[in-house]
Chain A
């Protein structure tokens, strides 16, 4: 049974690699600076489409944490983001007009790039609207974390998606380029997350937060998954199977303790709900390039029209990682 399952998983991993290989032909290098990557560098992989307004802060944020090189895939942007990135000395950029959906939401592209350039590096996968927060991130660079993980023999680090939103209407305060999005989307749901263990991939399936509360309270099963494993000491044999939620081999998904202890974990602050969201949702709805028929965006579009407020009385205002730790959303584990 378990031998059979392992075999199935091996096939799936193989398939992910083959897909990555097939899809990589669609990637056209715009500006490749991968020769600048040094052994031990921490690399960030990302796909984006029309996110120019967010990119400057995004790069800034991760540079400060010590990311040495960005490997980005532009999915046919037309807002100048591509040109902006071309001018950045630590960014390698590919572009593609191929279907986001048929590359399994960018996973195939990134799997390829990670396999090609990430081997032996700590790699971080984050979208331009995701800001990685980990224990002591205000005083220690990511390198401190990855060094510690190395010493501890840990290969992957979990960080769940935490949806951030503004108080009041989502589109009330415009976001300006370079600004910290948390200044606007400062609030989050502190304690309504639902967790289940996925028996076949062993990862935790986390749902909840404002999206489940507001958009999916009638069909919770369809609420988006919030579990992510964005930081991995990459090996060319590894592969993401669905976005950054699930990895193969499965051992990498065991970022949690099952005996009552706490492993160290972080959070990806998800700043999707800014004023840019309303137009984005409309656009994505038309493109139909998202997960399961863009059900998510349909639900948004329906709700956003009449009640564009995610904030509630029990929303919590973001302060820092220690607050998230106290609330039980992330943990220091035995890192002190």
Chain B
């Protein structure tokens, strides 16, 4: 036995290297400085010249070995074969090693190596290997979990994705299932483990190893299941977690750590982190300078970093709903919420009530706009010409891309409820459907209320008649849209007649839905337009051959005989 092994740290490092040799060397020296023997496996894809240079660069270290090179493609057996070969050499050549730590060239020890040695020395029979049954893990890259173990995977996922997928599909169709040997229970977990000599040698010297090897050779991503499964057969004590901090994104690629993660890694308390960007000078400098004592001696807890990386994955897969931008542009129908926040659309209210907008703003604290899609300009609240986000009130700009206009407005004002008016005069063609299908929209309609401004106007009756016909036609088509089976907005439609019969209840409901205070009922009501003579006005339209029906039934006689009846009802105010 040579000198290093006698000194014997008790922990041996198996290091898989395929790139960034200068960093691998740096880390190797760091391990070696604490007396850890190292067995290297270098990917066969590495050119001989680079390999030889790497071997030479480490030639001054005493306790290192290099093993025969396998081709280590992601998700293939080569990685397991490499690990086996290196582990065998480790166990054979360094008898003092009690724990074997599997690491890669892009791994960086975060805490002083001595701490790891001590930590493992205190737990001489514990295997640290993440190992869970397929049913219990959420990682299913490529939609495969249990099938990893029951199908065959002769084609590379990276290089022959088409064949890979087709072959999987084919096997599913014909109901192919591989037999799992000896009734072992497949387990999966992080490929970076730390096993005891006892467990590791039991796996490697298993009389059935040939059977297992030939089975796992055709399992998909065996490096995440071979040792994880077999360790269950022999381990006396498994701690199902990895001592290596390693985060994976939604494609199964490891997240990479950079200089700006320094503080994050300091807090991680893990022994080793991967993967480190080879040019992250500050990280290498901070963690490889000897035992600076800055690290706390606490139980490793990789959970702290989880949040930041799971958020990154979520941003990539779900994004920010309702945001349309250069790298997020969901195709129609692929998103449920079409906007980023709830908003309210009112149709007919500002025709019926003289001060509806100011009233609504007072009652709800929401931002209440006029007719955002008015033909002349976007009527922003308070007469503003530019709104949040530098959104212009120009009708041409707005009409150029109405949906962008609306989604921008809702996005720019997130945190503040937006309300706006719509009427049959407005330019909403093309976005009607989007609004109706948006669960964020709360749409309240008083149908036929557009007749009130006509009723009040001073135009020639023939003009009024034409306008009324046009507006009614437009609104009817709009109502059809709202009533369609596809609409997902919260939609309430009253006829004008219905509404003025009992206005308090609907108003209360709408306000309640917008939320915020007002539990005690409406303290104040909007002022309703004076509708004396409205019934006659409608009758006149009828007499001209135009049939107004969207406002419901307004008896003509009523206001001739009992005019006081159609005056605004006195509301009950509490």
Q: Which residues of A contact B (CB under 8 A)?
A: 136, 139-141, 143-144, 147-148, 151-152, 158-160, 189-197, 204, 206, 208, 210, 212-213, 216-221, 227, 255-265, 312-316, 328-336
Contact = CB atoms under 8 A, between A and B. Distances in A.
B515 interface: no
B562 interface: no
A210 B326 CA distance: 17
Contact of B326 (A195, A213, A258, A260): A195
A217 B397 contact: yes
Interface in B467-492: none
B335 A260 contact: yes
A204 B256 contact: no
Contact of A195 (B256, B279, B316, B325): B325
Interface stretch (B39-47, B212-220, B385-393, B499-507): B385-393
Per DSSP, chain A at the interface is: loop
B313 A334 contact: yes
Contact of B386 (A158, A312, A329): A312
Q: Which 8 A-B pairs have the closest CB atoms?
A: A191-B389, A334-B316, A265-B327, A336-B312, A220-B400, A194-B401, A139-B260, A189-B390
Interface in B303-330: 308-309, 311-313, 315-321, 323-330
A204 B326 contact: yes
Interface of B: 249-251, 253, 255-256, 258-260, 277, 279, 308-309, 311-313, 315-321, 323-331, 334-335, 386-392, 394, 396-397, 400-401, 404-405, 408, 411-412
A260 B318 contact: yes
Contacts of B327: 158, 255-257, 262-265, 330-331, 333
Nearest to B254: A151
A266 B528 CA distance: 52
B538 to A, nearest CB: 40
Given A258-B330, A333-B327, 9 more contacts: A144-B279, A189-B389, A206-B326, A219-B396, A258-B334, A314-B391, A331-B325, A334-B316, A334-B317
Nearest to A191: B389
A165 B238 CA distance: 62
Nearest to B325: A328
A192 B389 contact: yes
B279 A143 contact: yes
Contact of B321 (A193, A197, A260): A260
B397 A220 contact: yes
Given A139-B259, A140-B258, A258-B331, A221 B319 contact: no
Nearest to B337: A260
B408 A204 contact: no
A208 B335 CA distance: 24
B74 to A, nearest CB: 11
A329 B411 CA distance: 11
A336 B315 CA distance: 10
